[in-house]
Chain A
Amino acid sequence: MKSKLFLVLLLTVGLVFSLVSAASAENILVFGSSGDASRLDPGDVTDGESIQRMDNIFEGLVEYEAGSVLIKPCLATSWEASADGTEIVFNLRKGVKFHDGTDFNADAVVFSFARQYDSNHPYNQYGEWAYWGYMFGDVDKMEKIDDYTVKLVLKRPNASIMTSLAMFTVNIVSPTNAEKYKEDAFKHPCGTGPFKFVEWVKDDHITLEANENYWRERAKLDKLIFKVIPDPSARLMALEVGEVQGIEYPNPADFERIKANKDLVLMSQPGMNIGYMAMNTGYGYIDENKNGVRDLDSEPLVKTPGYFEPLTKKKVRQAINMAIDKQSIVDNIYMGTAIKAKNGMPPFMLGYNDEIEDYPYDPAKAKQLLTEAGYPDGFEVTLYVMPVSRPYMFDPPKIGEAIQSYLAAVGITVKFYQVDWGTYLQETEAGNHQMCLLGWTGDNGDPDNFMNVLYGANACSIGAAGNYAFYTNNTVQELLSAALATYDEEKRATYYKKAQEMIHEDAGWVYLAHSTQNIVFRTNVKGYVLNPTSRKFFYPVWIE
């Protein structure tokens, strides 16, 4: 009896420890994500994790060319803008079906848009539609002309709207599915994309499978699984042993280990982002009518709570720019996972001004400028240090320390201030800071999404600022508004270049770096193309 029991025990232990690798004939890719999705409705998500699931289930009227932010047809086959630029007519693709078998048509397009902007729409109550107000505020309405033609009506010409239409926010959802699940539709995503939703085990994984009735060629992967592995070391180990075939956000400290492993391939590309230190130049406005625009007559400039005399002086800000060795920060803290920045938007974008010469690292000159500005002995200043790592800044505390020591060398004493992330954003938006570390990851690939949001005077509204230097230069704002109003790309580029010159001269920011986006795959994963927006499209991928 005893020996039998022992045998059973031995067998079980043997089985448990044996490498039962269920080799499957199916082409399955398990991707190690750093977190779970929050919701699965493309119109109602703002976080990268939800977005990467959405991008493989849903599609929009237009999409990006592989690896770029240029636009090409997707669910719309062609489009034409009216002469005044306020109406765009789209011809829709015929014969496309949603995953639930219903037809994609003009009604679905109107539904997907109207539920977000029309507060009387019966489905408006089921989402927050956070991105709509922010990216699509210029949209007046989407109208059906016939079953396969729709018209987008804008309140004013907006040159960035076409790139915005490639965003997940305006991906097309199945109205039938929305009707079936109502408030729970966000758990049952149904689009037209290359993969169909199968299951969602919270905090563990989301499984998608190939859409057999896809309007293009069927995806090469049979299944695509997003598995949540929050710890970066665990994520890399899971990749090394083949539990997953790809991971996001590898730890830069592990890059050497990854490169040394012939089973792994590290893919990197400058990301669509900017990490910077903003210096509060002193003044913002109260957006009384909440229109996001500073009305020069009725909304005067007022001191921000973080107003600090020395930083209102251009020479001081220029001196700080020269006192910081950005190259060294990029090399040692970003550990080579970034390129040094000189302008406030990524270099691959329309209108990037490459003729601008960056402030050199020159502590002696910085000291001289400080003396000229009336601060030969320096001063004490508070720096807000982000409590979290963001794609544009992996290690804010270390960057803060570096800045502290560089500025100490020219006589400026830096004190740190740290709070939790939600509060951090609230306080900096309210202009409580003297200096702060922050950055931006672009949304749609259009320069307006950097320039207007981060550097325009309209973005200096106290309590809702995007312009954290509170740099209220009206000429810059005029250039940015003009660039948004014209569809002529050359003109747009000229306006943006001019604006960058002025921003550089006034030195409200120390632009630190554009960090690269990094993703690691096992070498047998083929066909993946990085997109500058960091969005993840798995349609062309297969496993050898």
Chain B
Amino acid sequence: MKWYITKRLLMLIPVLLGVSILAFSLIRLAPGDPAVTIAGEHASPQVINSIREKYGLDKPLTTQYWIWLKQVLRGDLGRSIVSNEYVAKEILERFPNTIELTLVSMIFAITIGCIAGIISASRQYSVFDYSFMGLAIFGVSMPVFWLGIMLMMIFGVYLRWLPISGRISMMISFQRITGFYLLDSLITGNFAAFISSLRYLILPSVALSTIPMATIARVTRSSMLEVLRQDFIRTERAKGLPERMVIYKHAVRNAMIPVITVIGLNFGLLLAGAILTETVFSWPGIGRYVVNAVNMRDYPVVQGCVLFFASMFVIVNLLTDIVYVYIDPRIHYG
């Protein structure tokens, strides 16, 4: 197992190298010039040239890549051209926001998705089955942007139950330590801040959870159906095990492998930022950050973020693979 993990982590190196080359060249192949974007519409060519020189954008591409790579190997992702801030610092400032949102929405998605999938499978062709699967299709196909606005309209504007935009009420003074608001408010014992950040989390995480929730529900259902048709289930039923035991103790565990895969993939995707949700709910997460950076042609930021996302994705996939071992004892990594 240890050797397997080491091997997988070592494989991260060629992956990241490939990703770095891709990230580096793709953003530069895209037309546009960061010097023009920061200098503003009204800037003189002299200013633009001096900015290009300052950030080394006038050098040949291979030289630029080499300089950047050396810098990255020293653990420095460079500075943003637009904000002049260290990219690593900017990513770490925003990443807790994204993780917090992702975690809460994955909790929603997994709980509700799995339950709906299990119920649908165990009562195939029942009213539950049809309505859950109907909802799942609805959930997958609904544009998040629209759903977000609708949630805001209903729960924010008409019912006035929940706040609309941001992470916490502007009226609450609050000390940021880790950047995870729920955690920070608990550490500092600031109960008002805890409740407020929880309230601000609900609508965006519900909006964000719909697609993974629907996917999880559908995968759980089909995987369960497959397991329920297997011989050992028939044996258990024949043994006279109560149906509840059959389903929850034996079938569910065996049906979980594909579900875990889907969860891992979705989690990895959400960590790269849920751009639309973050925009609608004014969530200062990493997705909005990288999209802004692409629009501004902020090369160091885009490259840094892509590297970061790639590492995250690989690590989440590794963790998923490790979880398999615990779910299914038949799986071994030699």
Q: What is the interface of chain A, defined by CB distance below 8 A to chain B?
A: 15-17, 19-20, 22, 24, 28, 30, 32, 35, 38-39, 46-47, 128-131, 133-134, 137, 183, 186-187, 201-205, 225, 227-231, 233-235, 237-238, 240-241, 243, 287, 290, 292, 419-423, 425-426, 443, 453, 463-464, 466
Contact = CB atoms under 8 A, between A and B. Distances in A.
Contacts of A425: 36, 41
B51 A22 contact: no
B195 A229 contact: no
B166 A128 contact: no
A420 B192 contact: no
Interface stretch (B110-118, B155-163, B219-227, B238-246): B155-163
Nearest to B161: A17
B94 A203 contact: yes
Nearest to A240: B157
B134 interface: no
Contact of B164 (A133, A228, A234): A234
Interface string B188-216: 00001001101100100000000000000
Contacts of B46: 133, 290
A115 to B, nearest CB: 15
Residue of B30, B161, B282, B289 with highest tally of chain A CB at under 10 A: B282
A424 B322 CA distance: 49
Contacts of A204: 166-167, 282, 284
A133 B162 contact: no
B171 A231 contact: no
20 contacts: A16-B199, A39-B84, A128-B50, A128-B51, A133-B46, A134-B47, A202-B94, A203-B289, A229-B166, A231-B282, A233-B149, A237-B153, A237-B156, A238-B164, A243-B166, A420-B31, A425-B41, A426-B36, A464-B44, A466-B42
A32 B166 CA distance: 11
B280 A131 contact: no
A186 B84 contact: yes
A30 B282 CA distance: 14
Cβ-closest 10 pairs across A and B: A46-B40, A422-B32, A203-B284, A423-B31, A204-B284, A130-B39, A22-B171, A464-B45, A229-B282, A133-B44
A38 B82 contact: yes
Given A231-B280, A234-B164, 16 more contacts: A19-B160, A20-B199, A22-B172, A24-B171, A38-B82, A130-B47, A133-B47, A187-B85, A202-B90, A202-B94, A227-B166, A227-B170, A230-B282, A243-B164, A243-B166, A290-B45
A22 B169 contact: yes
A46 B51 CA distance: 14
B38 A205 contact: no
Contacts of A423: 31-33
A230 B279 contact: yes
Contacts of A24: 171
